[in-house]
Amino acid sequence: MADHKLTVEDLLRSPALQLRVLAGEAGLSRSVSWAHVSELDDPTPWLLGAEVIMTTGIGVPRTAARQRAYLERLDDAGVSALALSAQLHVPPLRPAFFAAAEERGMPVLEVPLAVPFIAIAQEVAAALQEDASHRLGAQLQVFGALRWLAAEDLDTATLFKRLERLSGYDVYLSTRSGRPLLPGVPVPPPAVLPAVPDAPPTIPGGFVLPVSAPGGPAGYLVAFEREGARPAGLAVVQHIATVAALQVAMARHERETLRREGAETLAELLQDLLDPPAARRRLARLGLSMEPDTESEMVLLVVRGVPDDALRRAMDDLPHLMLRRGDEHYLLGPPGIGPAVAAVPGVTAGMSRPFPPGEPLRVAQREATWAATHAAESGRGLVLYGDDTTGRWLPEDPDTLAALVEYVLGKVLAYDGAHDSSLLASVRTWLEHNRHMRDAAAALHIHPNTLAYRLRRFSELSGRDLDSSAAFAEVWLAIRAARQLGLLHN
């Protein structure tokens, strides 16, 4: 029995134990890690899995429903078999109990009165003695993982592959929500992740353990026994979880350092303090390695209305630089960061047109700010600069835009400022509703006659007849220019 993994069937074949199968014969191939006496109705909080539970029957319930629940609890905890002492305190076993054992393939064994429980425990201990030295060796080698990291500069994927070979398990890592926890380590099936961090570690075919981190587990490590290997046991899996926790801490520290450097770099770029070659070198060091001779491009986003944590979670797996200024966040990265930002609940954001890496951000900042303002006005989560076809015809120079606004709308803006009126907002709403009087009045919460008066007053002050196509086009462009300059907020 020492040459291979100990099973329930191995114990059944031992002449000294004289065990007899009462039910659950389909589970005789289950592995056995220990044999333990328990007279509790629910011993599962103290089990690790793969135990043979031996009982005189004191803890076995009497009713059919409770007997079935008792057996199912043991099976859910990974117990290999239930061994009942004959002729002692075992109550009459109900058909529901045997049915559950057959359905689940949970072996139920009868131990003759002449065979003491200690004999079964000794048989198991003797069979596992050789395996104990293998497990100890695996533990010592797993402890050496930190030396490998320092001496060989292993990447995460290589490190965990080596730990898999030593431990006899296939190792998986994930965050609590099921996302990748460390690069290069696969994610386990979502069904095996526990609902609470302090759940029992044993699962069918292996273990699941929390990966510790300040403030609560960073995620979970799942280890499944690998076919044909010699699994080294829970202690080794716990050591691997500790290695994973150290790797997570190192990754978080590195990420936080890069985040701070990224914010400083983005602040310098927004102030135009870096020439293009220096900017590209800095971006490459921060994980945005895009060369001007490639087709890669970048975008700048202005994001409003989102807490730091929510935005960081959305951007966690994407290359980017982030800077907070007041209530706004600036994001610099590839165009793919746009959809990730748009998916954040409650976001209001504007995105510039793509531009080559290292290019000054003056124009991109103006575009992203205009687009964010337009997103707030329109109620959309994300607006891309250039989506407004009219805006494409406007010049980018702010002095030219300001001159257009003053020439067409100057007197109206002055009147609204002096009288706290809404002539310009009313005209803009009317134009945005395709000059439908009733729809625009409803949007403004005023009577159509009131809107008609405001349109006439606008025409008088601006000198533009809104029935004229030429005047209409001029006024519309001037309103778009005022919005681009950030002069319209209502």
Per residue in 67-120, pLDDT (tens digit) is 999 999 999 999 999 999 987 889 999 999 999 999 999 999 999 988 889 889
Residue with the two structure tokens 């099921």: 178
Annotated domain spans of the chain: 8-128, 144-251, 291-387, 398-484
The H helix count followed by the E strand count for the chain is 16, 14
pLDDT above 80 for 408: yes
Distance between CA atoms of residues 126 and 111, nearest Å: 19
> Regarding beta strands 81-85 and 206-211, do their DSSP bridges make them parallel or antiparallel, or are they unpaired?
unpaired
Question: Are the beta carbons of 167 and 134 closer than 8 angstroms?
Answer: no
Which letter does DSSP use for residue 155 in this model? -
Identify residue 199 by its one-letter amino acid code: A
Mean pLDDT of the 61-70 span = 95
pLDDT above 50 for 3: no
Class at the top of the CATH hierarchy for domain 398-484: mainly alpha
pLDDT class of 237 with cuts at 50, 70, 90:
confident
| pLDDT mean across residues, the chain | 85
At the topology level, CATH places domain 291-387 in Alpha-Beta Plaits (3.30.70)
Burial grade of 39 (CB within 10 A; 0-12, 13-18, 19 or more):
middle
**What Cα–Cα distance (Å) separates residue 63 from each residue in 24, 76, 88, 172, 244?**
20, 20, 18, 41, 46
Show the tokens assigned to 103.
């359905």
pLDDT class of 393 with cuts at 50, 70, 90:
low
Identify residue 88 by its one-letter amino acid code: L
**What Cα–Cα distance (Å) separates residue 436 from each residue in 213, 430, 470?**
59, 7, 19
Show the tokens assigned to 233.
């046991």
Identify residue 364 by its one-letter amino acid code: A
3-state secondary structure of 106: coil
Class at the top of the CATH hierarchy for domain 8-128: alpha beta
